[in-house]
Structure 1
Amino acid sequence: MYAMQVTAFDTPLSLCELETPKPAAGEVVIQVAACGLNFGDTLLIKGTYQEKPPLPFTMGMEMAGTISAVGQGVRHLHVGQRVAAYSGKNGLAEYAAVSASVCVPIPDAMPFTDAAAFLITYGTSHLALEDRAGLKPGERLLVLGASGGVGLTAVELGKLMGAEVIACARGAAKLEICKQMGADHLIDSDTADIRDTVKALGGADVLYDPIGGDQFKAAFRACNPGARLLPLGFASGEVPQIPANILLVKNMTVLGLYIGGYAKLNPKALTDSFETLINWYVAGKIKPHVSNVLPLRDANAGLDLLRRREATGKVVIDVMA
């Protein structure tokens, strides 16, 4: 089979020919149809992500396809079943061996491209907004990086959960996509003063932040007493230092979330969330926004779209193209 591998850190992926994997106990092998790219992939390639697999390794945190083999002890999945999986790696390959515990059956009505664009972004936002922050109807949700992969799902899910959503993104074109996904208010991070604009709207009750840096500092100052802060990533390259005295005075709560941790700490919470989200998809309540679909050999070009922040929503690799 063919796979796109990291053979040296901070270099482009290499197209390699490998043996097709066999499932160990508790695993399945997926014939991969599509793989979703994520900003975390770009950090994995640099060797700066939360996890650092030994070289060489196959990229691709999330995938969708059909089960081609089942390992010993797996009872709830079968050969020929359509699934999506969040495995952390191995998705940019024609076949991938993954733990059965991170596989979720997907309906026939869900294209593989949508399924591969689904788990990390929607899963992160659903766990963050519902399980961690306890977002309530009528609260004001501020989403930084709102046109990106996770940001756009936070806009969509926040609106579905009854919040008043403020979307912050770069430029009119990206903000228009946020509006289409349900944002009530739009802030251009290139030109507007985030702090003053949010305060004029009444302040934020929940801050969803995959960006960090100066945007977080401005948004933090616009949060209401009792606000919940969700630092989910640092695409700006700067990890913000949160002043504890302001947390104290304003009774604010900081809630970290790393979805990869759920895969190890509480995989059932992860798969339960995925099942809820897939049911919402089938009901027509949510729909992934995929801006680019590329073949496996062009995975490096897809990653460049993320690095340059030229994509909106998700970039998906069609492995079978």
Structure 2
Amino acid sequence: MTSSRTSSAVELDGIPSSATAWRAVFVDANPTLAEVSLRIRRDDDLPLAVNRQPDIRPEGLPEALAGAPIAIIDHTHLPTEVAYQCKGLRHVVFLGTGARSYMNPEQLAELGITVHTIKGYGDTAVAECAFALMWAAARNFSRMDREMRAGNWLRSDAVQLTGKTIGLVGFGGIAQELARLARGIGMRVIAWNRTPKTHADIEFVDLDTLLRGSDVVSLHLLLTDETRGLISAGRIASMRDGAILINTARGALVDEDAMVKALGSGKLAHAGLDVFTVEPMPPGHLLTTLPNVTLSAHSAFRTPEANNNLIEAALDHCRRIVQSSN
């Protein structure tokens, strides 16, 4: 199984992997990102191999990398014990900001492996997804769609968002874009950030005040030891009754069991979720059975514009790595 995956790699410019010290392997490219990688790579870039089968298992990484010093990783877990077996690996370029969901950067650093992350490539795309999930949740579109496909004429009352308050938990680039969109439809925007920030027309409050005062709560934090489980059972209980929860950041920011209970009791009116504690979501997961949940398969950033930005940033990392070694 592993050999069939690694044999699907494409080595560019006809340069065998052993012909140069600096080369990279994109170990888990989906068809879209594979095409973007081959299209925007420059002639003077380092050799790049693209594994076109994105479901490679972690234990297949040593063979897939075959001694390459740079691994480009989209979504494959890289346990430290597997990284130890990847002889020659010195750099991991992770396609996004949430590398900690897939590897331990500090442990990899002890092995001499530097983890590079990419910020800002899809701020607008993710913000638009959060915005769409908020609208779908407020209008109950997902449930009406399911019922109508099943032959049932289900009419549902909605939440009018104009004049409502949205609370942004974390205020990086994505949250700033969402704030712009929300203000554009007449929502009041409040925010909390782990470090003090200021921004025109945004009121910054403490987290408890935000949760109590928001009709919609949208999460925009990196996953760290400090933020894991931040939206706990207690914090969900402190939220406004009938609030909408949106998560396009990381599933583990939320106590998923507590969220499910709150959705079942009506404490939360609806959740719009692009991320989950376990991904891919297992078949029959309890969240798939709840009528007041709108689900998206961790695809918030997947637009042509964001894909181009993402791969260009990854190649820029590779170029800097080579330049710094000269």
TM band (smaller chain): 0.3 to 0.5
**Higher strand fraction: Structure 1 or Structure 2?**
1
- Relative to the length of structure 2, the TM-score reads 0.39
